[in-house]
Amino acid sequence: MDSVDIQADLTKVLHTEAEIHTRIAAMAREIEADYPGENLLLVGVLKGAVMVMADLARELKLPINMDWMAVSSYGAGTQSSGVVRILKDLDSDLSGRNVLIVEDIIDSGLTLTWLLGNLRSRGAASVEICALFRKPLAAKVVVDVRYVGFEIPNDFVVGYGLDFDERYRNLRDVAVLAPHVYS
């Protein structure tokens, strides 16, 4: 789905599909330089990270493995609470592995802070984070992120895996959702 197909639902395109692909390619070059010849394990966090995982994994000129986790924050409302529950755990044993968590967005930072601690307690050689988007103005905790694609404003954004009420994940661009859609 293209932004033009749902123009009335959006106020602004923040990053086009082409810009995202260019940035992911640059991040892949950094990752290749940091993990020469390593058998890296990419851990995607469902569901938002599906698109970035698919594009980053194919862009990397490295042998990699892919695994997935699904987590959910406890608590009411749409805000992350920081108390996280595992809905689907990894299939892989992390002992001695170099792990790269692949995320679509860091908002409050609470989910990734928890995830980093959880995966680091499993005996991995290293655990780092690659996030396509980060909202600095929404941060409640500072997360140690090795690779960040774009810093974006604290707006309601959708597309490229990011949803509102499970919609818009298949939008190619990342765009700001019009207030009339969610208010």
Long-range contacts, stretch 21-25, CB < 8 angstroms, 24+ apart: 21/55, 23/132, 23/149, 23/150, 24/52, 24/55, 24/56, 24/59, 24/132, 24/149, 25/59
Q: Are 47 and 169 in contact (CB under 8 A)?
A: yes
Q: Does the annotation count 107 as an active-site position?
A: yes
Binding mask 162-181 for ligand PRP (x = CB under 6 A): -x------------------
Q: Among 2-10, 26-34, 57-65, 105-113, which window interacts with ligand PRP (CB under 6 A)?
A: 105-113
> Using the rule CB under 6 A, which residue among 14, 111, 129, 152 binds ligand PRP?
111
> Using the rule CB under 6 A, which residue among 17, 55, 107, 128 binds ligand PRP?
107
Distances (CA, A) of 1 to 65, 149, 153, 160, 177: 29, 22, 23, 10, 15
Considering only residues 45 to 64 of the shown chain, the ones binding ligand PRP according to CB under 6 A are 45-48
Tell me whether residue 23 or residue 47 sits nearer to ligand PRP (CB atom): 47
Check binding of 3 to ligand PRP (CB under 6 A).
no
What residues act catalytically?
A: 107
